Amino acid sequence: MLCTVYHLGVVEYDEAYRLQQRLLYSRLDGKIKNTLLLLQHPPVVTIGKSGKLENIIASPAELMNQGISLVFADRGGDVTYHGPGQLVAYPIIDLRERGKDIHRYVHDLEEVIIRTVRDFSIDAGRDNGHAGVWVENDELASIGIRIRKWITTHGLALNIRPRLEHFSLINPCGFCDRKATSISKLLSKDIPMEAVIQRLITHFSEVFSARMEQGSNSHLRSAL
């Protein structure tokens, strides 16, 4: 398949959501190719469709004092955190071209992350009971998706060098007994975001058998 990738920088969560919705219908109508959005969010806690408010440990006042927004999202999953230093990838893909196999899609997203961090000498794996990528008992990347008319939205969030203390304000993905980790914590050094992005694009191409092309951000916004 052909996939257009866009590097969007830091984007507010609500703005990225609206963009995904427009892309969803454009993909459904065949007006655009499969698309991969790569970005970061300002600090935000999101609650998925199966999320529980009690998994937000901090009070609304505490979140506000730390400059963290709260958003109810239509993705699957529970509570998660997004912030600078975390790479977020939102694929807008037509699963009718991939056998309408949602389990395979989630497995492939995990595989992209596992291969990406392996390039930085991190041995990560799956938890058969919960989507995401883990190093022992710590969550390195979360996955939360939505499928509408077989078009995907939302996606994955890989912790490169976020403020891990912000994860202590929630029970990540609903877990009380697990913590978040990051590439920089595991390696005890910072890895440039761009280096991780390039490896992730390479492995996305491999896993999804996709030919990647770079898209123009200005063209993306003007075309929708």
Which one of 45, 173, 196, 200 is the catalytic residue? 173
First-to-last C-alpha distance (Å) of the chain: 22
Closest to 82 (Cα-Cα) out of 95, 94, 67: 67
Q: Phi and psi (nearest 5°) for 179?
A: -120, 165
3: annotated active-site residue: no
- Between CA 139 and CA 141 the distance in angstroms is 6
Catalytic positions: 173
